[in-house]
């Protein structure tokens, strides 16, 4: 195995919406069906590889295969001491993105 730097921009290849809480563990987010907020999951093709990742967009009408995406961090949960735990996700590239 070796470390390979990955790009931070890619193209959405395929996607779906996670409408129910995943099993915990390993999932660290909200597990109550009443409080769970759906989120997008997709395959993003980077220059080096295709990755499966969480998406920041969860509205199906705002997602389209072939759209440009950028890597971001998003809040996931808090640890036992109240510190924020973040994870990576991909967000649609907007007009104001650099």
CA 52/CA 14 separation, integer angstroms? 9
Range of the domain at 55: 9-92
What is the model's pTM?
0.82
Q: Is residue 32 part of a domain?
A: yes
Domain annotation covers residue 97: no
Taking Cα atoms as reference points, which of 81, 29, 25, 23 lies closest to residue 58?
29
Whose CA is closest to 55, among 27, 89, 92? Answer: 89
Q: For the chain, what is the domain count?
A: 1
Q: Give the pLDDT of the chain (98 residues) as one tens digit per residue.
A: 999 899 999 999 999 999 888 777 666 676 777 878 899 999 999 999 999 999 999 999 999 999 999 999 998 888 889 899 899 999 999 856 76
pLDDT for 69: 97
């Amino acid at each position: 195995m070796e470390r390979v730097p990955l790009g931070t921009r890619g193209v959405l290849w395929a996607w779906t919406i996670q409408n129910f809480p995943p099993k915990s563990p390993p999932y660290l987010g909200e597990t109550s069906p009443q409080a769970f907020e759906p989120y997008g999951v997709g395959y993003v093709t980077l220059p080096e590889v295709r990755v499966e990742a969480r998406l920041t967009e969860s509205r199906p009408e705002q997602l389209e295969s072939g759209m440009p995406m950028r890597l971001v961090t998003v809040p996931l949960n808090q640890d036992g001491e109240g510190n924020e735990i973040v994870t990576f996700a991909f967000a649609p590239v907007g007009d104001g993105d650099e």
